[in-house]
Structures are given as C-alpha cells and as structure tokens.
Amino acid sequence: QLKLVESGGGSVQAGGSLRVSCAVSGDLWRSRCMDWFRQAPGKEREGVASIDSSGITWYADSVKGRFTISKDNAKNTLYLEMNSLRPEDTAMYFCAADRTWFRICPRDERDFDYWGQGTQVTVSS
C-alpha cells in the first residue's frame, strides 16, 4: 500500500512559478508510474505529467515546455516544477501512483489506485 501527501500549492501571479511536492510512503513506489493530475472547477480531471520507473517522462500539450516532473528516490518525493504559470493552470493538483509496476505509464486515471488529497494552485492574471 502507498500513501501520498501533496504540498506546496498556493497563489501566484501569471508568469510566476511554483513547485508542488508529493511525499510517498510505502513499498515499491519507485517501480511504479507516478502521475500528476489536475482538476479545475467544473472540469474533468486531466493528466498533466507522468514519470515511469526508468525516468521517462510525458507531458500534456498544455504544459509542455513549462512544467517539469521529477522524483527524488532518496527523499521518497515526487515533484512538479511549474513555470510561466497561466490563469488556466488554476486547479487542484493531485499526485497518483499506478496500481502495478514496471510498465509504460497508462493514460487512463482508472489505472491509478493511489491518490493524494490534492493541493490547490491558483494563478491570477
């Protein structure tokens, strides 16, 4: 079993930067795909970025070139560095872990069994 706890959200002006973190506890998290999702009010949850067990990353087109996903295995922490933030990035951000190990990151959120509680990111214009 895994436990995920996000932190680091907040309010920032457009063009600013934030880094959100996800502290992970439990076995074999390093062997799983880890994702960041976000959900804005009135919208469906969407995948933002993922990193697999070998470090291969994926980004949604809307954040490519602005966001960077990374993980620190020694600190058991997943990160999302967000630069050049836009008002449309305003959302609750969630980290999630794949239900299984050593596979290409799935794109369906139903494949992720472990979720954090979320951290709010608000970008003002």
pLDDT single digits (tens) 65-92: 999 999 999 999 999 999 999 999 999 9
Which is nearest to 93 in space by CA: 123, 113, 71? 123
pLDDT tens, 105-124?
Answer: 999 999 999 999 999 999 99
Reply yes or no on whether the pLDDT at 30 is more than 90: no
C-alpha torsion 17→44→102→2, nearest 10: 80
Q: Which residue has the higher pLDDT, 1 or 65?
A: 65
Euclidean distance between CA atoms 115 and 96, whole angstroms: 4
Q: Can you give the pLDDT at residue 101?
A: 87
Sheet with 2-7, side-by-side order of all strands? 2-7, 18-26, 77-82, 67-72
Q: What is the pLDDT of residue 102?
A: 86
pLDDT at 70: 97
| Pairing mode of beta strands 10-13, 119-124 | parallel
pLDDT at 27 over 80: no
